[in-house]
Amino acid sequence: MEFKTILLEKKEKIYILTINRPEVLNALNHTVLTEIEEAVNKIKNDSDTLGLVVTGAGEKSFVAGADISEFKGKTPEEARKQSEWGQAIFKKIEELPFPSIAAINGFALGGGLELAMSCTFRYASPNAKVGQPEVKLGLIPGYAGTQRLTRLIGHSKAMEICITGRMVSAEEALKIGIIDRIVENNLVEEAIKSILAIQKNSPIAVYYCKKAIMEGKEMPFEKACALESNLFGLCFATEDAKEGVNAFLEKREAKFKGK
């Protein structure tokens, strides 16, 4: 599968998806979104995958936002459909059965931050800047930015960032919870290392834990607890659970197979 605007490689069973339009700070246009969707479908269907790292080409930008030139002349109905399409693509990333990390190597603004927030974790270089500046264009975030940001950092802070449209430094983003780690050097390599460390645990348990948290946050507490109980029970049907319990009792390191 050949792409024009992204790069896709696999390293140590982990896919690295790079938005490759550095000349326009990796802005998201129709082709980029189409190719991200194609790549995510490919990654999801590869059973020999431990995780995904998403990053941007060059040293200045992860994704600086949408390609605004494509907004000119859109009708309200076309804009609504564009929003729904972008949301659906990013939801596919969020729902991957393994961890994903956005390696934010510069600007992550508008659709760029929305893409990053669809990943399980966000690591950033010290020069990273994040934000939802759509109000400065007379718009609002359209790829679930208002919703994911609120769920990530709370109502008040999300409101302040979205209605001011200001850029947030890596240090502040770490403090308020938009990003999870600042990485001085070798950002992508650090993300790969983290995924490999996570997947030394049972991949099935990692998936069920991710599923319980992601789906449960949208449910009333009692229903979310019921979901947790069901997934807890399903763990006991796996070879990984038997191996984990036996390894603990036998005082040895577990060797999980993801079965």
Catalytic residue among 114, 189, 239, 250: 114
Measured CA to CA in angstroms, residue 77 lies from 10, 83, 234 at distances of: 38, 10, 43
Cα–Cα dist 10/21, whole Å: 20
The tokens describing 130, both together, are 């994040």
Element (H, E) at 249: helix 239-249
Rg value, the chain, Cα: 19
35 a catalytic residue: no
- Evaluate whether 57 touches 19 at the Cβ level (below 8 Å): yes
Q: How many CB atoms lie within 10 A of CB 38?
A: 15
DSSP string, 89-107: HHHHHHT-SS-EEEEE-SE
Q: Are 53 and 199 in contact (CB under 8 A)?
A: no
12, 35, 94, 134: which is the annotated catalytic residue?
134
Contact of 145 with 132, CB cutoff 8 Å: yes
Q: Is 189 a catalytic residue?
A: no
Q: Rounded to an integer, what distance in angstroms lies between the CA atom of residue 86 and that of residue 34?
A: 9
Q: What is the set of active-site residues?
A: 114, 134
